[in-house]
A and B are shown apart, each in its own frame.
Chain A
Amino acid sequence: MAATRQQGQGFGLFLVGITVTCGGIAEISSGLGKLALAVGLVLMAVSFFRFLSLKPLEGKPALGTQPAASKAVGVLVVVAGWLLVLVGLHMASGVAGRMILALVGLAISLVGVAFVLPAACNKNAIWKA
């Protein structure tokens, strides 16, 4: 199974949901705005659970499982590097100190992006079978 009518209907529902949600945010100070926000979020949630119910019908993709824990570790490494850069702006007051901390933080993030996450995502890749 590929693209279906149910998918199209679900996407339409998602668009209505996000539009109503944003309408609610735009008028959040009023009671009607708060109601619209709640309704919009419910519609989006319904559309997502509809997508979830359709997913098993679509056939298996040529993709091995990607271990969630390994991917989470990769994400944490990437974020840790960024946070070091931000903290470094306040830890160091001089340009040289800030530059060194920025480069170290950047290197950590790049290791996460270029090595840790790809290794996690390719751990059970089908081409290895």
Chain B
Amino acid sequence: MMTLRSKFLLLTVALTLSVGIMAHAQASPADTELKSATAAAPTTADLQKGDPGGTATGTINDVPVANPKTGVTVADVANQVGQNKIAVNFVWTLITGFLVMFMQAGFAMVESGLCRVKNANHTYMMNFTVYACGLFAYWIIGFAIQMGGAAGNGNLGGLQPLSGEYAIHFFGKAWGLFGQKGLFLSGHTYDVGVMVIFLFEMVFMDTALTIVTGAAAERWKFLTFCVSSVLMGAFTYPIFGNWAWGGGWLAQLGTNIGLGKGYCDFAGSGVVHAVGGLTALAVALIIGPRIGKFNRDGSSNAILGHDISAVLIGCFILAFGWFGFNPGSTLGASAAGNLRIGSIAVNTMLAGCTGTFGAMLYMWGLKGKPDASMAGNGLLAGLVAITAPSGFVNTIGAAIIGLVAGVLVCVSVAFVESRMKVDDPVGAISVHGTCGLWGVLSVGLFADGTSNYGGAWNGVNGSVTGLFYGDASQLVAQLVGIATLIGFVFTFSFVLNWILDVFLGQRVSAESELAGLDLPEMGQLGYPDFVFQPEPAFLRPDLKGVKAVA
């Protein structure tokens, strides 16, 4: 039997061993290195001497410690690395969002420049006011509908508060229809990551809204424009945005029925531009052409804008903002394949370049002049078209996509005006609608299967791959998206604006239209010191049809 003395001796040995093991664990090589680094780091006295070379600023002493008594630990360093990743992504997403916000200025200049001087104030004001209308509507409900079920984005910290996607069950699968979290950004969505994604998605939404003002310029009643914009920011845009980007049913086409990686729209050729362009078409159909645009035999008259310099400078501002639009859509610059931002930026530049050539050479070759406004529209067409595929294609694909868009916009402008008899003063329907749809389609053709954003897209493992690189099913997913844009978004916009036409009236009076909208609608001329020249005969009020209604 063990004596009391032996038991005491055994207990002492065990305790000594335990303490030794704990001490060994605490003094692991990593901790030892961290302590050495802390000791070697510049002291306060060193930093007081100044650091012109930048070699002493930013050391281990800048890592926040959880427990000052133990000093910097591996856990402290790991937490800081994680926060740095999120911080890099936050800053990237916010700054690119600021660039997209500045595109509003470009849109204002392009649209106003392409309108007559008597409508300059009205056109600028629509582009200005749409920002407030859209932002407000998106805050109160639009964001919740679009992104209220979009939890799971690791680039921005998970966005876990956005976990309320409403889905229906159909053929044994759940299909997302709309989000439910985030109205007024209140409750659990009062969250740093949610604020970042709100800002970024909001400026995209506002881009879609401002497209409509171009097609309806020079005759849209300001009141109706305001109400229509609020409703578009609250419902039209967010519903499709949810289906494509918020975890909705279009994004689930891959996981649910095996169509490629689901509907893929990297930065919004469909979600932003086609939604804007198709809504523009809906409003333009309802609102009708400007007085004097078409003759009795159906031929059309060119109604020239007042400032081509504003148009071209505006195009450059838009091209600059597009560097926020496309590269920013990674929602981060760190981890998850986000270093592809360089490729995305180059694709964006290239498509704009070839789009400009496409439109300019088409007009020059067929009409004899390198039409400035169409060259500008060619740049925008290339940028619109590359928006969806920018994250999935190589530079050759990007150049082809832009070139096709540049020609397509010219053909589409002629078709919309000559065949459809729709008056679109700035070409918004063609630039954003037609070329937006082309951009969506081009993902299904040109995606080269080399992108890798964390190993999966829309929940399907692998890279987005188009028909030319071996995956025909991706093209089907894109076609379903295009059909939904036309079948649902256009229809929804048309019916909504039809109702507004019944209650509010979409169009100003003939009297106001002839006078120019600056005074009747805004109460102030855009350029009060200008001396207006008499307008051509076809724009004067002695036309039979106009006289009948005026």
Q: Does A25 contact B (CB under 8 A)?
A: yes
Q: Which residue of B lies closest to A2 (CB)?
A: B520
Residue in B498, B513, B549 whose Cβ sees the most chain A Cβ within 10 Å: B549
Q: Does B24 contact A (CB under 8 A)?
A: no
In the complex, are the beta carbons of B420 and A118 less than 8 A apart? Answer: yes
- Prevailing SS type, chain B contact patch: helix
- Which residues from A are CB-within-8-Å of B295? 127
Tell me the complex Cα distance, A61–B473, Å.
48
Q: Does A38 contact B (CB under 8 A)?
A: no
- Which residues from B are CB-within-8-Å of A81? 483, 486-487
Q: How many residues of B contact A (CB 8 A)?
A: 76
- Which residues from A are CB-within-8-Å of B422? 118
Q: Which residue of A lies closest to B187 (CB)?
A: A26
In the complex, are the beta carbons of B504 and A60 less than 8 A apart? Answer: no
In the complex, are the beta carbons of B486 and A62 less than 8 A apart? Answer: no
Give B202-229 as 1s and 0s: 1 = Cβ < 8 Å from A's Cβ atoms: 0000000000000000010111001100
In the complex, are the beta carbons of A129 and B296 less than 8 A apart? Answer: yes
Q: Does A22 contact B (CB under 8 A)?
A: yes
- Prevailing SS type, chain A contact patch: helix
In the complex, are the beta carbons of A82 and B486 less than 8 A apart? Answer: yes
The listed residue (A49, A62, A95) touching B513 by CB distance below 8 A is A62
In B42-75, the 8 Å CB interface with A consists of none
- Which residues from A are CB-within-8-Å of B521? 2-3
Tell me the complex Cα distance, A121–B422, Å.
9
Q: Does B184 contact A (CB under 8 A)?
A: yes
- State the Cβ distance, B239 to closest chain A Cβ, in Å: 14
Q: Does A43 contact B (CB under 8 A)?
A: no
In the complex, are the beta carbons of A129 and B548 less than 8 A apart? Answer: yes
Q: Which residue of B lies closest to A19 (CB)?
A: B140
In A1-23, the 8 Å CB interface with B consists of 1-3, 7, 10-11, 14-15, 18-19, 22-23
Given A62-B291, A110-B486, the answer on whether A95 and B421 have CB atoms closer than 8 Å is: no
Given A26-B183, A26-B184, the answer on whether A59 and B487 have CB atoms closer than 8 Å is: no
In B302-358, the 8 Å CB interface with A consists of none
Tell me the complex Cα distance, A22–B238, Å.
15
In the complex, are the beta carbons of B183 and A25 less than 8 A apart? Answer: yes
In the complex, are the beta carbons of A117 and B288 less than 8 A apart? Answer: no
- Which residues from B are CB-within-8-Å of A103? 479
In the complex, are the beta carbons of B484 and A82 less than 8 A apart? Answer: yes
Tell me the complex Cα distance, A63–B137, Å.
30
Q: Does A73 contact B (CB under 8 A)?
A: no
- State the Cβ distance, B365 to closest chain A Cβ, in Å: 26
Q: Does B287 contact A (CB under 8 A)?
A: yes
- Which residues from A are CB-within-8-Å of B503? 48-49, 51-52, 55
Give A108-128 as 1s and 0s: 1 = Cβ < 8 Å from B's Cβ atoms: 011001110110011001111
- Which residues from B are CB-within-8-Å of A58? 221, 505, 508-509
Q: Which residue of A lies closest to B472 (CB)?
A: A95
Interface residue ranges, B against A (CB under 8 Å): 136-137, 140-141, 171, 183-184, 186, 219, 221-223, 226-227, 230, 234, 253, 257, 259, 281, 285-289, 291, 293-296, 298, 415, 419-422, 472-473, 475-476, 479-480, 482-484, 486-488, 490-491, 494-495, 498, 502-505, 507-513, 517, 519-523, 544-546, 548-550
Beyond A109-B483, A125-B289, 10 additional contacts (C-beta under 8 Å) are A2-B512, A10-B223, A14-B230, A49-B503, A52-B504, A79-B488, A82-B488, A82-B491, A89-B253, A95-B473
